Amino acid sequence: MPLQKLCCKCHDLKTAEHFYANTRVKDGLNSFCITCHKADNIARKKKNRSNSAFKNAEAENKKAYRAKTAAAHTAYMQAWHAKNAKQQIEYRAAYRQNNQDYFTKYAATHRAQHAAKSRHRQAALLNRTPSWLDEDDFWLMEQAYDIAAVRTKMFGFSWHVDHEIPLLGKFVSGLHVPTNLRVIPAKVNLCKSNKYTV
């Protein structure tokens, strides 16, 4: 007959698999069952989060933890995406294929926002393109976009021409010049966004 124990909260007799392990207890099982344990956690969190002081302290602790672990988290996610790149590409392609109506409708209803974003990007390129660039510089930049197209076709996933120092960075902005361009996988560029670490 399987081991049974009486829960000290709900007072139901339950088998061992309904209790968390607890080495401090003689029989190795917690004194109250998993269901009661979860219910207590939910009630405690609800009570605590109704307290503004606790809520603010919790938010500060989470913020500090994110700041402390940001580098490790970024490294982990980059490694994970590199390891699972093929599966991610296949998943996104299948998702777009299965949700074509949504993307078509979204593009139609957000046409103005997309146009504004494109014009903003074009203006940034014009404003950050120096007048002292010569024909060789423009040829080198065209080559970067050609290389991105070739790599996209060769590897089967998208490559972007990235401005290593972003054109519209929050603290520092780069120029649209050959030395500031690099060809990188699209997923890396999209994760980078307009961030730049000195």
Quick: pLDDT tens for 162-172.
Answer: 988 888 777 78
Q: What is the pLDDT of residue 60?
A: 93
| Phi, psi at 184, each rounded to 5° | -135, 160
Global confidence as pTM? 0.45
- Topology of the domain comprising 4-49: Wheat Germ Agglutinin (Isolectin 2); domain 1 (3.30.60)
CB atoms within 10 A of CB 33: 22
Pairing state between β 13-15 and 4-6 = antiparallel
Residue that has been written with the tokens 């070739």 in this structure:
150
Task: Give tens-digit pLDDT for 136-153.
Answer: 999 999 999 999 999 999
Residues 189, 151 contacting (CB under 8 angstroms): no
- The Cα–Cα gap between 198 and 196 comes to 6
CB 53 within 8 A of CB 46: no
Q: Are 33 and 18 in contact (CB under 8 A)?
A: yes
Q: Per-domain residue ranges for the chain? A: 4-49, 130-198
Rg (CA), the chain: 27
What's the confidence (pLDDT) of residue 188? 83
Q: Which two tokens stand for residue 188?
A: 């890396």
